[in-house]
Structure 1
Amino acid sequence: AQTAPHWEDPEVIEINKEPGRAIFHSWDNAQKAVKGDVAQAFHQSLDGHWYFHLSHNPDGRPEGFYLPGFDYSGWDKIEVPGNWEVQGYDVPIYVNHPYEFADPRTPITDLQNGPEPPRVPRDYNPVGSFRHTFHVSEAWDGREIFIHFGSVKSAFYLWINGEKVGYSQGSKLPTEFNITPWIQPGQENQMAVQVFRWSDASYLECQDFWRISGISRRVFLYSQPKVRIKDFEVVSVLDDRYRDGRFSLFTEIANHNPGNERLWLEYRLLDKENEIARGEQAAKVTAGENILLEFHRELPDITPWSAENPYLFTLLIALKDRRGRVLESTSTRIGFRSVEIKRGQLLVNGVPITLKGVNIHEHHHETGHVLIEEMMLEDIRLMKQFNINAVRLSHYPFPERWYELCDEHGLYVVDEANIESHGLYYGERSLAHNPDWELAHVDRIVRMIERTRNHPSVITWSMGNEAGNGVNFYAGYHAAKDADRTKRPVQYERVEIGSRFQLMFDWNSDIIVPQYPGPSTFEWFGQRVLDRPFIPSEYAHSMGNSTGNFQEYWDEINKYPQLQGGFIWDWVDQGIRHTDDEGRSFFAYGGHFGEGMPTDGNFLLNGIVFPDRRIQPAMHEVKKAHESVRFSLLFSNDSMARVLVENLYDFTPLDKFDYVAYIKADGQKVKSIEVPQPAAQPHTSEVLVLDIGGVDVQPATEYFLHLEVRTPEATTMVPAGHIVANEQILLPWEAEHVIGERILPGLTLSRKEEVVSFENDELRVVFDTRSGRMTQYRWQGTEFLSQGEGPAPDMWRAVTDNDFGNGMHRNNIAWKKATMEAEVAGFAVGPKGEGAYEVQVAWKLPYVSTRWETRYTVMGDGRVHVYNKLLASEVESSDIPRVGMVMNMNTEFEHFTWYGRGPWENYCDRNISAFVDVYKSHVNDQMVPYIRPQENGNKTGVRWASLANNEGTGLMMISDRDNEREGLEVTAMPYASVDFDAREQYEYGPVHLELAYIEQVEPRDYIRWNIDYGQRGVAGINSWGAGPLDKYLLKVDRDYEYGFTLVPFSGESREEIVRISKMR
C-alpha cells in the first residue's frame, strides 16, 4: 500500500523536533541574566523579509527549492512573522465549525463529501515555500545551536544548507530543532521552509476564527554550551496555612560532549534586589545523557501572587564547570501561588476566587494572527481598567510574551490546548474516540503544559474546545496531571452529558465549564450542592449590539458560592482591515475575500472591543457588573444616609482605595460629601454613615447620591484616580411641586382640503389629514421639521445580530409591515381650552389587527403635548420590537442634550452602567459603528432631551411624569433606522452572509429623532436562538401609553433649559 505523506498521517506529528520545554534565554553571566536583556543573550532574531513562493497545491511545489544553488531571486518577499493570506497571497477564509477545506459550499475542494480525516485536499491545498539567508557569529562555534519557530500553520518541513532537518505540526506551540550539525558559524547559512496550509493537523484546529496560515510568530536562533540547561520546572506554592512558601526547582541538564562532565548547578531567588534563597549542588553528567537535579526550600512569610497583587520574584539559575566558571546563566520571574479545589470551590492561596473573564483570540486588525507586544499591552490595560481579571486563551496557547505580561500585571489564565475538531462533532466520528489520534491529542496538551507551567498566572489547564469527549481526552487528563507537579485543575467543556437542567458531567474535568447557560441555569446550579465549581467557559455571547442581561448573571454569581464567574464570548471583533472598490477602509469579515469560498459571515464579530481595540458600549456594562465594591442604601433622611459597602475582592482590603461622594441634581453637583475610610476585608462588608444634609431641595427635582472608588496611585496599567467602582443612588427627597399658571397666546385654526394648521405671530403647526403627521413646526421663524416628517408611529428597529439569531426578522415582521403600511383611520380637531387645540389621530395597523392613537395638544406658546396609545394585539408574535414615534429634524439641530442614562449607548437590559445625568453630544457622535450595520445609539431613562442649532434655538422633549417607565428611550442621529437594517422591505434572507459594513452607511440630510416608550432588550445569552429575557420584552397582549411635550426654546441659559424641562 502507498505510504501516506507525513502531512496526512496522524501518527507522524514531528520528525527530529526538540521536546517541549519552558522558554528561556541563555546568558554568559548572572548580571546579564538578571537584566533579562535579550540583546545580550545568545539569541538571534530571524524575523524580517523572506523570499516566498506560493503553490496552488502540493504537486506544484518548486522542486529542489531547498538546495543551495536554487535560484529564487525572482520570488516575492514576504514579512515573517506573517500570515500570507493577509499579505495578498491566497484567500483568508472564515467559517465557524465546518472544515473550510471540506465544505460543500466551495467548488474548489476534492473533499466534496465532507471531511475524511486524515485526508486533506490535493487539488487546492496551498503550499508556501520560504527561503532565507542568515549569518551566524563565529562566537557560537562550539555551542549547540537551535532554531525556534513560535507558530507555523499547519505543518512544515525545514532544511538548513540544503539538508532536511525535520518536520512539525501543531500550529500554536513552538517548534524547535537542534541545527548544530548543519549550521556553519562565521558564514552565511541558507534556510528553506515549506508550509502546508492544510494537513491532518488541521482536523484538530477547527476553531471559530480566521482560517489563515503561514509563520505567524517570531523565528529566532539561540545557542547554549555543550553542557547546558535543557529545561527546568519551578514549583512555588504556599504551605497548608497559606503563609509560607514552598519552593522546588527541577532542572534537566544535557551533556552534548563526547566525555563525562562534572559541574555545579546553582540557583538564587531574589525579592527585588534582595537574595532570599540560594542553593547549589555538584553533579556528574554522562556523555550524551541528561540528568535531573532537584532543590527544595521552605520560605517563611512569603508574599503571594494573585491577579490583585501580582508579586513576582526573580529566579537565577547558573550552570558552572568544575572550576566554578559560569557555562550558562538564565533567569525567570516566578510567583508563589497555590491553586486547588476544595469543597467544590476553586481556591487560589486558600481563598475562593471569582473569575471575571473573557475569551480571547490571537487577533490583530491588520496582521491577522500576528500579535505585537503593544497590542498585548493594550488588551491587558483595557482588561485591568474594565474589571476583567481572567482570560481563557481560546482555543490554543498564546505567544510566550502574553504569559509574562499576565504574570507581571495580574491576570488569571486558562491555558488551552490547540484541539478543536468541531467539524466532526461529538458522536462516533469525533476524533476523541479514535485511538489513531491519541498521540496528537496528548502531545498538544503536554507540550502546552511543559512550556507554561512555570507561570503563576496560569491557574488551570484546558484540554481543548468542542472536540467531543472520549478515550483521547481521558488519556489527556492523566497526561496533564503527570506533566504538572503542582497538579493544577484540568478542565474541558465537552464533558457535558445530558441537556439543560439535567446535566451530568464526565469525570475528566475538575471544573464544570459549560457553554452559554442563561441566568436561570446559573441559578439552578447555584441552588445545588456541586462536587465541582461552576465556571462557564463561554457565556454572554456578545455579537454586535449585545451583552444584554449581563447583570442578571452576576446577581446569581454573587449569590451562590460555587458560581465562581465565567468567560464572556469574546474579547475582540475579528475584523481585518480591508479597502473596498471605492477606496473606503473597513473591517472585513467572512466572505469579503475570495468569491465562492465558504463563509459563516460575521459570526466572528463577537467582541466587546472593536478590532482596533476601541471599546464598545457593552464594555461599560461588563465593568459595572464586575465591580468588586458594591454599595446599597440602607436608610436615609434629609440629613443622613447609611450605606452598606461590600468588599467583593478576593485579596484586597477596602482601605487600599480613595473614596469620593457627592450629590447631583439636574446634572450639577450640589454637595460634596466626606467619606469615612472603609476598611472592610475581602468578602466582608461594613456600613458607612454619610452626612447628606444642607441641600436646598427643589420641586420636580431628582437628587442622586454618587459614590466612587478610585485608585490612589498609578500602576503601569491603571492611572491614579481611576474609578474601579461607582454607584448612583436616587435619594427619596421630594418637595412640593408648584404648577405655574400660564396664559397661552391665542391660536388660529385653518382647514384647507387635507391640511389643518394652527398659527399665531410666533407659531405655525400644520398637520396632513391623510398621513396623520405633523408636516410643519415653525416657531419664531425657525422650522424644526425636515421634509414635513413630524412624529409617526414606529414599531420596528434595525435588526441586531441577536435579533437575527432569535428570528425577530421572521417572527415579528408584522410590526415592520404595520409601521410601513399604517393607515389613518381617524382624524379629529377640537378646542382644548384657551389658546390650545387638540388633534386626535388614529392609525389602523395592518397585519397586527390593532390601532395606534395619538392625541396632540397644540398650545399657543409653541408647546405641543403628544399622548400615544398602542392597543393590545392578538398577533402571533410574542413581542413588539419597538413602541415609539419617529420624526425628522432639520440638520442644523445637531447639538444633542439629554437628561437620562448615558453617556454611552444603553438599552433596557444593558443600562446599569449608564447613570442618569445631563449629557451633551453632537448627533454625528451618536452612531455606534458596529461592523455589520444594526440598531444602535439608544438612550434609556430619558426625562428630557433637546436638539439645538449653533444659535441655541432648538426643540426640547419632556417626558410626562406619569409615564409608566422611568423616562423614555431616545435616539438622535443623522441616519434613518432603515440605513442600519439589512432590508428596506420584509424578506431578509441570510443577512449575515451579505457582507454589509458600516462604512457604507451615509449620513442623511436630516436628523432622525426617535422618542419611544421603549424597545425590546438587545439580549445576550447567545446569538442563535435566545431572545431577551421576558421582562425585557414589550408584550403584544397589553396596551402601551406614554406622553411627552415638545417645547421650542431659543438662546436660553442652561438653568433656563432645566427650568423649562420641569414645566408641565
Structure 2
Amino acid sequence: QKIGFRKFEMVNKVMHLNGKRIVFKGVNRHEFNARTGRAISREDMLWDIRTLKQNNMNAVRTSHYPNQTLWYELCDEYGIYVIDEMNLETHGSWQKLGAVEPSWNIPANLPEWQDIVMDRAISMLERDKNHASILIWSCGNESYAGEVLRNVANYFRSTDPSRLVHYEGVFHNRTYDDTSDMESRMYAKPADIEQYLNDNPQKPYISCEYMHAMGNSVGGMHKYTELENKYELYQGGFIWDYIDQAVMKKDRYGREYLAIGGDFDDRPTDYGFCTDGIVYADRKVSPKMQEVKFLYQNLKLIPDTKGVTIRNENLFEGTGDYELVYSLLHEGQEIARNVSHVDVAAQTEAYIPLTFPSTDEKPGEYVIHTALVLKEATLWAKAGHEVAFGQHIFIVEDPNPLKAPIAGALRVVHGDVNIGVHGTDFTIMFSKGAGSLTSLRYAGREMIATPPAPLFWRATTDNDRGTALGFEAGGWFAASLTRKCVDIEVTEEQTDRVTITFRYTLSIHADVQVTVTYTVLADGSLNVKSTYEGVSGLPNLPIFALSFKVPADYRHLDWYAMGPEENYIDRALGARLGVFRNEAADNVSGYVVPQESGNRTGVRRVDITDDSQRGIRITAPATAPVECNISPYTAFELESAGHLYELPNVYYTVVTVAGKQMGVGGDDSWGAPVHEEYQIPADQKLEFEFTVQRI
C-alpha cells in the first residue's frame, strides 16, 4: 500500500501509523552492484523494490548511511517504511573481536567531533525530510554512546517532531538511554527479547539487525516472528541483510566468479563475512527467501478439511485485491481446484468454507493448499502472484491395508567374498570385503557407483564455523571416513525376500554401534533401514544418514517432498508439500563459500533418472518421511572448497538419505548455536527407513 498521509504518535509507548501499531518486517539494505562494486542503477533499484514487495517485506533500514534519493522516491511510491540512517560507524574504536572497551571511543563526549557529526545529521534530514516513507531517523550504527549522539537525537526531535529517533548503541551504556525513542538491539536471542518485554519495558522493541543471513542460514526465524502477536511492544526487526557484497572477479583461467574478502590480496580481511544476504550478489534470490516470505506474510491462511481461516494482519487493506485459490491434492497430484472471492477486512479474521470432492473412498495422503493471489497486475507484481499460502495435510487410512504378495522368486548365491541376490531382470550384490551393498543392477544398468556408507557429517555452514562445529564435533567427521564393518549376517532368506545386516563400529567411541539392514524383495525393490544406538558423552550429531553415489548421468530429480527450495528442520515453515523437479546441480546453492545446501525435508518420494527417464526411486512412508540431499558433490568435497570454482568436475550424483539433519541456525554467525530442539543429541537412538525401486 502507499503510505500517503502520515501521522505519528506514541500511544501506550507503541509506534503507530494512523492509530495502528506497525510491525516492521524489514531488511537492512546496502546499495551495491556486484559487477562494478559501486552504486547500483535505477534498474537494480526497481528489481530490489519489487523483490521486497513480492516477498512481503514492508521496511528497510538504510545501513549504515543515507541511500540515493531515487531509493526514497521508490519507497514513497511502492509503500516501504524506512529507517533513514546517518553516515556514521566507529565500531573499531570501542569493540575488538567482540569485547567492549570504550576508552578510545569516538565521537563519545568529545566536543571536537560534534560539528562534523551534526553536519551529517543535518545533511540527511534536510535532503530527505519530505519523503513520506521515512518513519524514523537513525543516529548511525555501532558507535557506542555519548553526548555527541544524544545531541544529534535531540536535533532530530526539535527539527522534525513528527518522526521518531533510533539508536542501538545505548544498549551498551544506559547513561545515554534517552538518545533512542525505542529499545533497539542487534542479534538478541528470542529469549532475551522476551525477557525485556516481560520486565516492565519502557519503550517499544525493534531488532535493528537480526537473523544474520550469512551463507546457509535463517534457521529458527519463526521464533522472532511469533513474538509479533504475543507482545504489544514488539515491533519486528530488520534482517541482516538484503544482498551479498561479493564482487565479480576472474580466476586464473579467466572464468568469472563472485569474489570475497582475501580474493584481492587484501589483508587484513574478514573473508566471506560480506556474504550475508537473502539475495545473492548477482541479484538472484537465494533459497533463504522462501522462509522469509512466508514468515513475513500479513495474511495468514490456516486451512482444515472443511474450510480456511483467513487472518488479515494488514493495517489498512482488506483482501479485495486478491483471489483465494484452493486445491486438493492426493499423493502430490491435484484432483480439484477452485477460485473464490473473499472480503476480510484489515485487522479481522474470517472462516471461509471450502468445497472438495469426498476423500473417503481413496486412501492415501492428501494436501489442501490455499493461496491468496493478485487479481490484477500491480506496480510490483503480475496478476496471479501469490502473496500468502497455507496447507493442511491429512491421511485417509486404508481399510484393507494388506498388500498383494509380490510375484517372483529370488536366488541367493553365497560366495567367499560376495553375496549375490538374483531376480527377474535384476541382481543385487553385497560385499563382505567392502562391508556394504556394492551393486544394484537393473536390466543390466549398474546404479551403485560408490557403496552406501553411514554419514554423520555435513559440509559446515558459515554458522557452523562460527560455533566451531569442526572442533566440537569433528569426531563425527572422522567417524564418517573411518567406520569398521564388524559383522555381516544373512538374517532372513526366503524365496520372496532376503535380509542382510551390516554392523559397524566407529572411531569416535567404542560403544557406538550402527546397523544397516537391506531387505531385497522379489520385485527387485530394496528396503533399507539404518539404526544408531545412542551413546552419552559425545558431541551432538550434525546428521545421521546413509550416502552413496550413482553415475552422473542420473541427474534429473522429481520430488514429492517439502519444497520447492532447500529446507531444513528449523527452516521449513515456508516450504510446501508438493511435487517439484530440478537437477542435482541445482542443489549446490550459490553460497559464495561452498557448504551444506540443497536439503529437502519431508521426502516421501524422489526419482533419480537419466535422459531416458530410467533410474531409481527412493520412497519413505508419509508417516515417517526422510530428508534427502542429492548433489554432484560429497559433504567432504564441499567442505574442502573455499570457492565454488574449486569444486571438482562432476563424475557422480551423490545421494544422501537422512533420518535427521540438524538445523542451520541464524541468530548470528559468530557463536549462536542452532536452537536446542533442532539439534541431534548423541545419546538418543536414531532410526530411519526407505525403499529403493527401479524406474
Calculate the TM-score normalised by the size of structure 2: 0.96
Alignment partner of 1:690 is 2:351: no
Q: Residue 309 of structure 1 corresponds to which residue in structure 2?
A: 2
CA deviations over 1:200-238 (Å, ceiling 9, x no partner) = xxxxxxxxxxxxxxxxxxxxxxxxxxxxxxxxxxxxxxx
The separation in 2 between residues aligned to 1:767 and 1:846, in whole angstroms, is 23
The separation in 1 between residues aligned to 2:46 and 2:622, in whole angstroms, is 48
Superposed displacement of residue 929, structure 1: 1.8
Alignment partner of 1:428 is 2:103: yes
Residues 173-572 of structure 1 correspond to what in structure 2 (within 5 A)?
A: 308-310=1-3, 335-425=4-94, 427-431=102-106, 432-484=108-160, 486-497=161-172, 506-572=177-243
CA contact (8 A) 1:551 1:625 kept: yes
Q: How has the CA–CA distance of structure 1 residues 407 and 674 changed in structure 2, closer, same or farther, with 3 Å as cutoff?
A: closer
The separation in 2 between residues aligned to 1:845 and 1:794, in whole angstroms, is 11
Structure 2 residue runs without a partner (length 5+): 95-100
The separation in 1 between residues aligned to 2:358 and 2:497, in whole angstroms, is 42
The separation in 1 between residues aligned to 2:88 and 2:678, in whole angstroms, is 38
CA contact (8 A) 2:459 2:596 kept: yes
Residues 855-894 of structure 1 correspond to what in structure 2 (within 5 A)?
A: 855-877=517-539, 879-894=540-555
The separation in 2 between residues aligned to 1:583 and 1:848, in whole angstroms, is 47
The separation in 1 between residues aligned to 2:429 and 2:217, in whole angstroms, is 40
CA contact (8 A) 2:453 2:548 kept: yes
**Letter of the aligned partner of 2:167 in structure 1?**
Y
CA contact (8 A) 1:389 1:411 kept: yes
Superposed displacement of residue 520, structure 1: 2.0
Superposed displacement of residue 918, structure 1: 1.5
Higher relative contact order, chain-length normalized (CA < 8 Å, sep 6+): 2
Q: Residue 658 of structure 1 corresponds to which residue in structure 2?
A: 323
Larger Cα-atom Rg: 1
Alignment partner of 1:976 is 2:634: yes
Residues 578-727 of structure 1 correspond to what in structure 2 (within 5 A)?
A: 578-594=249-265, 597-633=267-303, 636=305, 641-675=306-340, 677-695=341-359, 697-699=361-363, 701-727=364-390
**Letter of the aligned partner of 1:359 in structure 2?**
N
Q: Secondary structure at the match of 1:433?
A: coil
CA contact (8 A) 1:573 1:605 kept: yes
CA deviations over 1:888-928 (Å, ceiling 9, x no partner) = 11122222112110111111111111111122222232221
Structure 1 residue runs without a partner (length 5+): 1-307, 311-334, 984-995, 1050-1064
The separation in 2 between residues aligned to 1:510 and 1:391, in whole angstroms, is 18
The separation in 1 between residues aligned to 2:424 and 2:325, in whole angstroms, is 52
CA contact (8 A) 2:75 2:81 kept: yes
Superposed displacement of residue 529, structure 1: 4.2
The separation in 2 between residues aligned to 1:757 and 1:735, in whole angstroms, is 35
CA deviations over 1:995-1024 (Å, ceiling 9, x no partner) = x21122234211100011021101010000
CA contact (8 A) 2:146 2:176 kept: no
Q: Which moved more, 1:566-575 or 1:856-865?
A: 856-865
Q: Residue 688 of structure 2 corresponds to which residue in structure 1?
A: 1042
**Letter of the aligned partner of 1:740 in structure 2?**
K
Superposed displacement of residue 696, structure 1: 5.8
CA contact (8 A) 2:186 2:208 kept: yes
CA deviations over 1:440-479 (Å, ceiling 9, x no partner) = 2222112211110110011000001100101111111111
Q: How has the CA–CA distance of structure 1 residues 737 and 473 changed in structure 2, closer, same or farther, with 3 Å as cutoff?
A: farther
Q: Residue 756 of structure 1 corresponds to which residue in structure 2?
A: 419
The separation in 1 between residues aligned to 2:195 and 2:369, in whole angstroms, is 34
Alignment partner of 1:1001 is 2:647: yes
Superposed displacement of residue 667, structure 1: 2.3
2:470 to 809, 812, 824: 809
CA contact (8 A) 2:29 2:243 kept: yes
Superposed displacement of residue 419, structure 1: 0.8
**Letter of the aligned partner of 1:603 in structure 2?**
F
**Letter of the aligned partner of 1:663 in structure 2?**
L
Q: Residue 800 of structure 1 corresponds to which residue in structure 2?
A: 461
Q: Secondary structure at the match of 1:925?
A: helix
**Letter of the aligned partner of 2:427 in structure 1?**
R
**Letter of the aligned partner of 2:385 in structure 1?**
H
The separation in 2 between residues aligned to 1:937 and 1:510, in whole angstroms, is 42
Superposed displacement of residue 739, structure 1: 2.8
**Letter of the aligned partner of 1:859 in structure 2?**
L
The separation in 2 between residues aligned to 1:756 and 1:959, in whole angstroms, is 26
Q: Residue 97 of structure 2 corresponds to which residue in structure 1?
A: none
**Letter of the aligned partner of 2:93 in structure 1?**
L
Superposed displacement of residue 695, structure 1: 4.2
CA contact (8 A) 2:2 2:77 kept: no
**Letter of the aligned partner of 1:839 in structure 2?**
I
The separation in 2 between residues aligned to 1:863 and 1:843, in whole angstroms, is 24
2:497 to 836, 861, 866: 836
Q: How has the CA–CA distance of structure 1 residues 524 and 737 changed in structure 2, closer, same or farther, with 3 Å as cutoff?
A: farther
CA contact (8 A) 1:671 1:695 kept: no
**Letter of the aligned partner of 2:128 in structure 1?**
T
Superposed displacement of residue 981, structure 1: 0.6
CA contact (8 A) 2:557 2:583 kept: yes
The separation in 1 between residues aligned to 2:552 and 2:269, in whole angstroms, is 40
**Letter of the aligned partner of 1:552 in structure 2?**
K
Q: How has the CA–CA distance of structure 1 residues 387 and 504 changed in structure 2, closer, same or farther, with 3 Å as cutoff?
A: farther
Superposed displacement of residue 705, structure 1: 0.9
Q: Residue 1024 of structure 1 corresponds to which residue in structure 2?
A: 670
Q: Secondary structure at the match of 1:556?
A: coil
Aligned residue pairs total: 687
CA deviations over 1:371-395 (Å, ceiling 9, x no partner) = 2111111110100100111100000
Superposed displacement of residue 341, structure 1: 2.4
**Letter of the aligned partner of 1:666 in structure 2?**
E
The separation in 1 between residues aligned to 2:569 and 2:69, in whole angstroms, is 42
**Letter of the aligned partner of 1:766 in structure 2?**
M
**Letter of the aligned partner of 2:683 in structure 1?**
D
Q: Which moved more, 1:798-807 or 1:677-686?
A: 677-686
Superposed displacement of residue 961, structure 1: 5.6
Superposed displacement of residue 709, structure 1: 0.7
**Letter of the aligned partner of 1:455 in structure 2?**
H
Superposed displacement of residue 962, structure 1: 5.8
CA deviations over 1:960-987 (Å, ceiling 9, x no partner) = 4663xxx11011122222221137xxxx
CA contact (8 A) 1:771 1:823 kept: no
CA contact (8 A) 2:628 2:658 kept: yes
Q: Secondary structure at the match of 1:381?
A: helix
Q: Which moved more, 1:650-659 or 1:1039-1048?
A: 650-659
**Letter of the aligned partner of 1:854 in structure 2?**
V
Q: How has the CA–CA distance of structure 1 residues 961 and 665 changed in structure 2, closer, same or farther, with 3 Å as cutoff?
A: closer
Superposed displacement of residue 339, structure 1: 2.4
The separation in 1 between residues aligned to 2:672 and 2:361, in whole angstroms, is 45
Superposed displacement of residue 713, structure 1: 1.4
Q: How has the CA–CA distance of structure 1 residues 951 and 829 changed in structure 2, closer, same or farther, with 3 Å as cutoff?
A: same
The separation in 2 between residues aligned to 1:928 and 1:832, in whole angstroms, is 44
The separation in 1 between residues aligned to 2:334 and 2:198, in whole angstroms, is 43
CA deviations over 1:71-128 (Å, ceiling 9, x no partner) = xxxxxxxxxxxxxxxxxxxxxxxxxxxxxxxxxxxxxxxxxxxxxxxxxxxxxxxxxx
The separation in 2 between residues aligned to 1:907 and 1:715, in whole angstroms, is 33
Superposed displacement of residue 353, structure 1: 1.1
The separation in 2 between residues aligned to 1:743 and 1:1024, in whole angstroms, is 54
Q: How has the CA–CA distance of structure 1 residues 374 and 732 changed in structure 2, closer, same or farther, with 3 Å as cutoff?
A: same
CA contact (8 A) 1:939 1:971 kept: yes
Q: Residue 212 of structure 1 corresponds to which residue in structure 2?
A: none
Calculate the TM-score normalised by the size of structure 1: 0.63
CA contact (8 A) 2:86 2:121 kept: yes
Q: Residue 98 of structure 2 corresponds to which residue in structure 1?
A: none
Identity of aligned residues (%): 31
Q: How has the CA–CA distance of structure 1 residues 1027 and 592 changed in structure 2, closer, same or farther, with 3 Å as cutoff?
A: same
